[in-house]
Amino acid sequence: MRTVLICRLDNDGDVLLAGPAIRAVAATDRVVLLVSPSGEQAARLLPGVHDVFVWPCPWTGFDPPAVDPVSVGTLVDALRLARIHRALILTSFHQSPLPMALLLRMAGIGWIGAASVDYPGSLLDLRHHPEPGHEVERALSLARAAGYDLPQDDPGHLAVRRPLPSQSLLEAPFVVVHPGASVPARAPGVEAARATVQALVADGHQVVVTGSAQEQELTAEVAAGGGIDLGGRTGYRELAAVLDAAACVVVGNTGPAHLAAAVGTPVVSLFAPVVSADSWAPWGVPSVLLGDQQSPCAGTRARVCPVPGHPCLDGIPADEVVVAVRKLIEEVAG
């Protein structure tokens, strides 16, 4: 088998969205995945990945490290030793693959493919021009242009390695509310999230509030609406198990939305339009998209909401979330 390097140097949610493209390559070749530290947790959950390289990339992420010549040299040496035959660089539409392509050439990789609007010189063998669409489709489009496709029995949904850890913290049925996000503009405010929990509890649901160790203060405030607070009590695999056991997940446009989709759980997506839902909405599961997609912040890529009161998300009535949750649960139940 040939060894193919796939690069996706972003956060866990972005790495999860690359899953179908990775499986397409893995159907015939051995896949080695190169990710940033912020994408490592998801990378190690993906089916079809033979090995994972983790590198602190200086041109991606919200707080990128300075360029370190020693780190760059170490990466180039490690890739050279890996005897990689080909490489695919997966990027979002606003990112350039060319810095990574240069390092891959320095590592001696003889064939490299990527989507690029910039002239690549000798850095790319395949300069792909994908049609506008969802991030999953963009990545799959590049894989197909490179000669790979999903097996006929693979529907192209997101997926994780199973079995997941035993989930013994909770008894089903329950609904998860995940109030946090790495980008503040993509998360509801505390009061709106707490009101959602209260409304779901009043509708008869057991509600679980999830979040990272850094979000424990947030989850405690939100769970005060009557939910069970799991903030800081789950690692990434354990969070996947909780989401897998949930009847539905209420979450903003952030990594756990894609993790929920990867375990097949319906999603009520509280989607701030700072980025396009056509590109980033939950993929391959029943979902309801809530939030004013015509808000003045639409398409701005703002990290902090530029509109007073964060109306696109905080203006969503809690009762509307309840109706969406009820609809998805009934839809799945048949």
Q: What percent of the chain has pLDDT over 90?
A: 91
Structure tokens at 187: 């998360």
Among residues 105, 128, 145, the one where a domain terminates is: 145
User: The domain spanning residue 247 has which CATH number?
Assistant: 3.40.50.2000
* Residues 85-116: tens digit of each pLDDT: 999 999 998 899 999 999 999 999 999 999 99
- How far is Cα 95 from Cα 255, in angstroms, rounded to an integer? 19
Helix (H) or strand (E) holding 270: strand 267-270
Q: Is 38 found in the same domain as 85?
A: yes
Closest CA to 45 of 123, 130, 158, 214: 158
Question: In angstroms, how far is CA 285 from the centroid of its own chain?
Answer: 14
Position 209 scores a pLDDT of 98
- Which amino acid appears at position 124 of this protein? L
Q: How far apart are CA 47 and CA 14, in angstroms?
A: 15
**Beta-bridge partners for 267:** 249, 287
The 10s digit of each residue's pLDDT in 215-229 is 999 999 999 989 999
Residue 100: give the domain boundaries.
3-145
**Cα pseudo-dihedral 289, 293, 299, 305, rounded to 10:** -90
Residue 316 pLDDT grade (very low, low, confident, very high; cuts 50, 70, 90):
very high
pLDDT tens for 303-315 read: 998 899 999 999 9
Residues 131 and 53 in one domain: yes
**pLDDT (average), residues 279-284:** 97
pLDDT value, residue 163: 94
Answer yes or no: are the C-beta atoms of 52 and 43 closer than 8 Å. yes
Domain termination residue (choose one: 90, 124, 145): 145
Residue 170 belongs to a domain:
no
> Which of these three, 128, 145, 162, is where a domain ends?
145
| pLDDT digit string, tens, across residues 44-75 | 999 999 999 999 999 998 889 999 999 999 99
Beta bridge mates, 287 = 267
Domain count, the chain: 2
Q: Using pLDDT thresholds of 50, 70 and 90, give the confidence band for residue 167.
A: confident
